[in-house]
């Protein structure tokens, strides 16, 4: 009894209750004293040890996670990727995620260049400019020829370097992913956007939060729309 008291101490001390001689624990309690006495009787009837009956055959099955992507437009006939291609992309993405998680602390400790100033997590416009650059953000078709695109990252956007994404916590990763997916919902796809979307998705840690699930579904729907539009545009071009 003393050992059980150490493992499961009483929340409130309950002494002997003065109950009527006709007290019946099988009927609903009428007073607080009767309720406490009934709880004591039920607790005394519980076994000290309970063993769960587990079917070992069920443990051999790999758990599956079903993510609904309702609303996605199916690939037009002849434009659906092969199963082999899909499996290869999943394998490549998994390898990137594992490598990133393994070396995250190393890259986080690396010094950033003096021209890299990461926006605050809640600065949506700042992150769009940081990732996409002034050219894409301001929708400028081309920059003057005398601009040095290889150095002025404020104009062409910072690439998702490991030293940058490794410094982003999960809240920031989710926020920036939301900013860019929202941008993609209204703007056209660009290589800068694609690089950052891939990098941020690789930075998401498991288990995924509900917000991440929602963003992935939103991105999948948008990608299916873009694919359908690109195919229609290609078909129209061929007919002309």
- Tens of pLDDT, residue by residue over 167-177, are 999 999 999 99
What does the angle CA 70 – CA 213 – CA 175 come to, to the nearest 5 degrees? Answer: 125
**Does residue 13 lie within any of the structural domains?**
no
Least confident of 2-16, 99-113, 204-218: 2-16
Alpha-carbon distance of 29 to 23, in angstroms, equals: 9
**Does residue 47 lie within any of the structural domains?**
no
DSSP 37: H
pLDDT at 200 over 70: yes
User: pLDDT higher for 43 or 173?
Assistant: 173
Q: Which tokens hold the place of 124?
A: 């949506």
DSSP for 53-95, please give it: ---HHHHTSPP------TTPPPPPTT-SPPHHHHHHHHHHHHH
Nearest-10 crossing angle of helices 191-203, 83-108: 70
3-state secondary structure at position 141: coil
**Does residue 191 lie within any of the structural domains?**
yes
**Does residue 131 lie within any of the structural domains?**
yes
**Does residue 185 lie within any of the structural domains?**
yes
Domain residues for the domain of 106 are 83-111+118-139+153-239
Least confident of 26-30, 97-101, 123-127, 131-135: 26-30
Least confident of 5-9, 32-36, 73-77, 114-118: 5-9
**Does residue 78 lie within any of the structural domains?**
no
Percent of the chain residues past pLDDT 90, beyond the cut: 37
pLDDT at 67 over 70: no
**Does residue 204 lie within any of the structural domains?**
yes
CATH assignment of the domain containing 133: 1.20.58.1070
- Within 10 angstroms of residue 231's Cβ, the number of other Cβ atoms is 15
Res 142: pLDDT: 57
Tally of structural domains, the chain:
1
**Does residue 105 lie within any of the structural domains?**
yes
- Our CA dihedral for 150, 200, 222, 91, rounded to 10 degrees, sits at 100
Percent of the chain residues past pLDDT 70, beyond the cut: 78
């Amino acid at each position: 009894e003393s050992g059980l008291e150490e493992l499961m101490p009483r929340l409130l001390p309950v002494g002997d209750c003065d109950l009527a001689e006709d007290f019946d624990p099988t009927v609903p309690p009428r007073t607080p004293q009767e309720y406490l006495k009934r709880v004591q009787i039920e607790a005394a009837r519980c076994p000290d040890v309970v063993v769960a009956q587990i079917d070992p055959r069920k443990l051999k099955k790999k758990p599956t996670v079903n993510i609904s992507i309702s609303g996605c437009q199916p690939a037009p006939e002849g434009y659906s990727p092969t199963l082999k291609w899909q499996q290869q992309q999943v394998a490549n993405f998994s390898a990137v995620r594992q490598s990133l998680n393994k070396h995250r602390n190393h890259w986080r400790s690396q010094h950033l260049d003096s021209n890299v100033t990461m926006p605050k997590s809640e600065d949506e416009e700042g992150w769009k400019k940081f990732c996409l650059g002034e050219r894409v953000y301001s929708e400028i078709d081309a920059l003057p020829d005398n601009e040095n695109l290889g150095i002025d990252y404020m104009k062409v956007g910072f690439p998702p370097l490991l030293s940058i994404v490794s410094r982003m916590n999960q809240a920031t990763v989710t926020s920036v992913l939301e900013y860019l997916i929202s941008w993609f919902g209204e703007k056209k796809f660009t290589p800068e956007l694609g690089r950052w979307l891939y990098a941020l998705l690789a930075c998401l840690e498991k288990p995924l939060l509900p917000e991440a699930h929602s963003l992935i579904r939103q991105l999948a729907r948008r990608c299916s729309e873009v694919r359908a539009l690109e195919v229609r545009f290609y078909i129209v071009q061929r007919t002309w």
